[in-house]
Chains A and B, each alone.
Chain A
Amino acid sequence: MLEGLFGPFVEFSFMRRALVGCLALAVAAPVLGVFLMLRRTSLTAEVLAHGVTPGIAAGFLIAGLSVPAMSLGGLVAGLAVALGAGALSRATGGREDAALTALYLIALALGVTLVSLRGDTADLTHLLFGQVLGVDDEALLLMAGVATVTLPALALAWRPLALETFDPSFARAEGARGGLWHMLFLTLVVLNVLAAFQAMGTLMAVGLMMLPAVAARHWARELSGMAYAAVGIAALSAVAGLLASYHLDLPSGPAIVLTAGLAWALSVLAGPVDGLAARWLRRPHLAG
């Protein structure tokens, strides 16, 4: 039993690297996910994950599989999609989700096209699905670096972000600079998507960001509690997912996301806040 839990990490350095990388993702990204969920913009992360692909692909075209080049390209593309969609929807009076959807579909197709110009199927697979078990030093540094930047930045932005989400008019009337903090927040989301992208690929990058966040809603009734719950669920999913992928010989990225999905399903079923079990149990009502 213990051997099954720890053996793979003790024995293989690629498992240890994958573990460190995924834990780095798990401490920061789910907290962003909680805010995305509360702002009713859960899809933004997904859109940004696809939105970064043409930038990553451009980096790949220019410099091959180089982490700095691909990350820089992805950062530019991600910020362009995030800010572009906001500006576009304000300028045309349309809905932001519509503008985001249009942009990310174009971005994904463009990214795949760009990679196909030079790369082969293996490169495309790497782009789409990532390689948790193949994270190199640079990718690991990026993941750890992003987590290191994200946590203090979130701590600073915490109160304005919460206020802006809860009562935007009040935040504006009090001069809380909601727009500025929102930009910082979107930048953090893009950075985390890029870090996750190294391990999970463009299709699953937001799995560790959103699934634990959505699951956390069933474990806490207050913002900070939700954040803790989300990080805990993400970390557990990362470890369990890696172990499952090792023992059952599954692709590791999807295994981690599936584990997080399982955690979400369990939360919906048995979570203490608005879980289904609580409704089915029909305990007698209280006296007052």
Chain B
Amino acid sequence: MRGPELRIEHLTATHRRHPAVHHVSARFAPGSLTALVGPNGAGKTTLLRAVAGLHAPDEGHIHVSRPDGAAARVALLPQQSGMDRAFPILCRDVVLQGLWSRLGAFRGASAEDRDRAAHALEAVGLRGFERRPVSDMSAGQFQRLLFARLLVQDADLILLDEPFNAVDARTAADLLAMVHRWHGEGRTVVAVLHDLDLVRDEFPDCLLLARRKIAAGPTAEVLTAANRLEARRMAEAWDDAAPACSQAA
């Protein structure tokens, strides 16, 4: 498998007209493994949500194109806060949600599909959890469960929003191994991360964001002291009296 290329051109995405992502252009090569870093409020989540089709951009374009021209499958691992973790659903059924693009609202899951779900649970270290309700799980276990769903989704562009938050070292290592496996399979992976040591050690490419793009490229060239200082200078608060952007179309 050769993952798709992700190209972002002049992207602006706003919350109540204030830009969270401001005129950002970037290219993620097919099969690349990129860390998306930047201070809080830098627009990392908004960028991922825009790529996943969950946040309509105000301006600019997002292109996801596979080398063979087929439609790319995009999967997003969101932050857990948007989910109802008390919902009465079994782990197996959460994993089976990953088959939505094939099963849709009506088709039943075959024995093979159930097998796949069981294997995915095993792969994330949740063997034997098939019939447990998600409300029983810890935050770390829940994150493993979401990885199992991603695994079943079998997407070729994978977007991870703070995938290792609130998980212990062993879980983080397991999940990181899975990210590397996806990378090895040629999928294109973009992950929002805060742990810069981890980024330096494990992620070949990096995009440093502070609403606008600060730097992009090989991680060592991006995470320089000068670049990080510049990212930190981003004002956290919106300017309520900001005029319309001069570059706005």
Contact = CB atoms under 8 A, between A and B. Distances in A.
Nearest to B101: A174
Interface in B76-131: 76, 78, 82-84, 87-90, 94, 97, 100-101, 105-106
Interface stretch (A82-90, A143-151, A185-193, A220-228): A220-228
B54 A163 contact: no
Given A156-B106, A160-B105, A167 B90 contact: no
Contacts of A156: 105-106
Nearest to A171: B100
B17 to A, nearest CB: 13
Contacts, number: 61
A162 B106 CA distance: 13
Nearest to B135: A221
For A163, A170, A173, A222, which residue has the most chain B Cβ atoms within 10 angstroms? A170
Contacts of A154: none
Contacts of A162: 89
Interface string B41-54: 00000000100111
Contact of B133 (A38, A160, A221): A221
For A162, A181, A221, which residue has the most chain B Cβ atoms within 10 angstroms? A221
Contacts of A165: 84, 87
Contacts of B94: 166
B62 to A, nearest CB: 14
Contacts of B84: 38, 165-167
B105 A220 contact: no
A118 interface: no
B236 to A, nearest CB: 23
Contact of A226 (B78, B82, B88, B106): B88
Q: Is the interface of A mostly helix, strand, loop or mixed?
A: helix
A167 B82 contact: yes
Contacts of A173: 52-54, 74-76
A167 B88 contact: no
B215 to A, nearest CB: 28
A172 interface: yes
A20 interface: no
Contact of A167 (B75, B83, B105, B133): B83
Nearest to A217: B88
Contact of B88 (A159, A172, A221): A221
Contacts of B87: 38, 165-166, 223
Chain A's interface size range is 20 to 34
Interface residues of B, number: 23
A173 B89 CA distance: 20
Nearest to B83: A167
A273 to B, nearest CB: 9
A198 to B, nearest CB: 31
A166 to B, nearest CB: 4
A66 interface: no
B192 to A, nearest CB: 15
Nearest to B153: A174
A113 interface: no
A8 interface: no
A49 to B, nearest CB: 25
Interface in A165-214: 165-170, 172-174, 176, 181
A1 B135 CA distance: 43
Contact of A222 (B52, B78, B106, B133): B133
B135 to A, nearest CB: 7
A131 B135 CA distance: 42
B88 A163 contact: no
A172 B133 contact: no
Contact of A159 (B53, B54, B105): B105
Nearest to B132: A221
Contacts of B88: 38, 217, 220-223, 225-226
Contacts of A221: 88, 133, 135
B213 to A, nearest CB: 24
Nearest to B74: A173
B89 A222 contact: yes
B82 A176 contact: no
B89 A223 contact: yes
A223 to B, nearest CB: 5
B100 A174 contact: yes
Query: Which A-B residue pairs are the 8 nearest by beta carbons?
Result: A221-B133, A166-B87, A174-B100, A160-B105, A173-B52, A167-B83, A223-B88, A169-B78
12 contacts: A160-B105, A163-B97, A166-B83, A167-B78, A167-B82, A174-B101, A176-B105, A221-B133, A221-B135, A222-B90, A222-B133, A223-B87
